């Protein structure tokens, strides 16, 4: 990886006008070399306007496609514009843009392809409700077994991706990349994943987007996707320059 | 043997279905591509009713007692096949729509970039078609 990589920060946003301006401003302040793209996932509020006013490039989905599809749109943009590294940051202000440097470091210095922020690797301060904690432990355990590498937090949306990962996400169209299964696909494609501690703040405004019904269906969706991924051939990723 | 009456009912229903399907194709409400699976269903059901020997042999093969249950079984199997076919098509189309939506997002950003800050930026609240039909809460 070259010394001065071109970095793109991708912020998926669905009705996040309340916090988004602050988040974009903070990213621009703490990661001054990076470009910022906000993917407005069919918001009905002023999300796009707020993002544009804060100086981000805005990609607007005509309707809601889901959080990870918004991230993937950011990857397509990164791929077509030749970025070296893509950082994924949540729009609700839970992540700390000052930690972007730490997230980029393993890609630039150690040749990793994907760096995942984890709430459960030391840096404390984040309390997880019990039921969710059980789910997270389960997904982390399954994912760790599949990858043959310890992963403590598969659902955290604070991540960085190098060129090969950008290529993979931008060109292989699948809705299965989100969360845990995404990590398994990445690992099976031969990309190297590193987990580092990340601070996750308590949510400033708004509520979590996961409803009770979805929480109930989610594990089955996860297992089905995982089984499908394991039943397929591994993806081949061209070398890139990583 | 199925009774003459059952055979008649089955044939009349098949003919009605056939007429409806052909008429929809004629009116261009149903594409030929999607009509084929229906026509195949009608043809097969009619064949089973008309060719009693085949129906009886199938009934014996399945271990069923009444030949009309064989007819029902095949009717249900065809209905399931059509449903599965539709599910596959829905998946295919949702993928295409997803990709198109992304391309639109990219193109809109490019247009906004080329035409300066004051013009035609998409995504302002209330602008654009279909804002009210959108699904909520799927992030």
Would you kindly state where each structural domain of chain A is located, as residue ranges? 7-231
Question: Cα–Cα–Cα angle for B71, B76, B79, nearest 5°?
Answer: 125
pLDDT at B132 over 60: no
Give the CATH fold of the A7-231 domain. Spore Coat Polysaccharide Biosynthesis Protein SpsA; Chain A (3.90.550)
Sign of CA dihedral B99, B104, B105, B107: positive
Average pLDDT over residues A77-102: 92
CB atoms B130 and A63 under 8 Å: yes
Of residues A122 and B35, more confidently modeled = B35
Pairwise CA distance, residues A37 & B64, whole Å: 64
Average pLDDT over residues B102-124: 76
- Phi/psi at A118 (5° precision): -125, 135
| A chain contacts of residue B122, beta-carbon cutoff 8 Å | 48, 60
CB atoms B101 and A59 under 8 Å: no
Average pLDDT over residues A125-137: 75
Question: Cα–Cα–Cα angle for A172, A173, A175, nearest 5°?
Answer: 125
- Phi/psi at B120 (5° precision): 40, 35
Residue in chain A nearest B122 by alpha carbon = A60
Average pLDDT over residues A133-145: 86
pLDDT for the residue A227: 87
CB atoms A72 and B102 under 8 Å: yes
pLDDT for the residue A1: 55
Of residues B16 and A119, more confidently modeled = B16
| A chain contacts of residue B109, beta-carbon cutoff 8 Å | 57-60, 77
For residue range A50-71, list pLDDT tens digits in order.
999 999 999 999 999 988 899 9
In the 8-state DSSP scheme, what is residue B136?
Answer: P
Question: Against a cut of 0.90, is the pTM above it?
Answer: no
Alpha carbon distances (Å) from A3 to A84, A88, B75: 11, 21, 67
**pLDDT band at residue A210, thresholds of 50, 70 and 90?**
low
Q: Which residues have a Cβ under 8 Å from the Cβ of B125 and sit 6 or more positions away?
A: A43, A44, A45, A46, A48, A49
**pLDDT band at residue B43, thresholds of 50, 70 and 90?**
very high
């Amino acid at each position: 990886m070259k010394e001065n990589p071109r970095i793109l920060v991708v912020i998926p946003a669905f009705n996040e006008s309340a916090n988004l301006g602050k988040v974009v401003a903070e990213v621009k302040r703490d990661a001054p070399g990076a470009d910022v793209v906000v993917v407005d996932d069919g918001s009905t509020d002023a999300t796009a306007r707020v993002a544009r006013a804060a100086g981000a490039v805005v990609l607007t989905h005509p309707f809601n496609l889901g959080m990870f599809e918004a991230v993937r749109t950011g990857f397509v943009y990164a791929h077509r514009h030749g970025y070296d590294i893509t950082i994924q940051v949540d729009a609700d202000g839970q992540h700390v843009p000052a930690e972007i440097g730490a997230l980029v470091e393993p890609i630039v210095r150690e040749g990793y392809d994907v760096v995942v922020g984890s709430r459960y690797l030391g840096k404390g301060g984040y309390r997880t409700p019990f039921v969710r904690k059980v789910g997270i432990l389960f997904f982390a355990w399954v994912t760790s077994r599949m990858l043959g590498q310890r992963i403590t937090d598969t659902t955290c949306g604070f991540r960085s991706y190098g060129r090969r990962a950008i290529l993979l996400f931008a060109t292989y169209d699948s809705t299965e990349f989100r969360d845990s299964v995404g990590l398994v696909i990445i690992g099976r494609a031969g990309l190297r994943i590193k987990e580092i501690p990340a601070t996750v703040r308590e949510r400033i405004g708004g509520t979590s987007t996961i409803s009770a019904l979805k929480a109930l269906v989610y594990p089955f969706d996860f297992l089905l996707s995982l089984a499908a991924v394991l039943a397929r051939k591994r993806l081949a990723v061209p070398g890139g320059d990583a | 043997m199925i009774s003459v009456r059952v055979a008649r009912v089955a044939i009349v229903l098949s003919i009605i279905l056939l007429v409806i399907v052909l008429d929809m194709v004629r009116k261009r409400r149903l594409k030929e591509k999607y009509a084929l699976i229906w026509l195949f269903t009608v043809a097969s059901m009619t064949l089973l009713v008309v060719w009693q020997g085949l129906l009886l042999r199938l009934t014996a093969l399945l271990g069923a007692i009444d030949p009309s249950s064989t007819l029902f079984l095949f009717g249900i199997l065809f209905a399931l096949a059509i449903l599965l076919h539709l599910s596959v098509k829905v998946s295919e189309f949702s993928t295409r729509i997803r990709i198109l939506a992304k391309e639109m997002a990219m193109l809109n950003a490019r247009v906004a970039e080329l035409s300066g800050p004051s013009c035609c930026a998409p995504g302002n609240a209330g602008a654009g078609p279909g804002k009210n039909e959108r699904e909520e809460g799927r992030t």
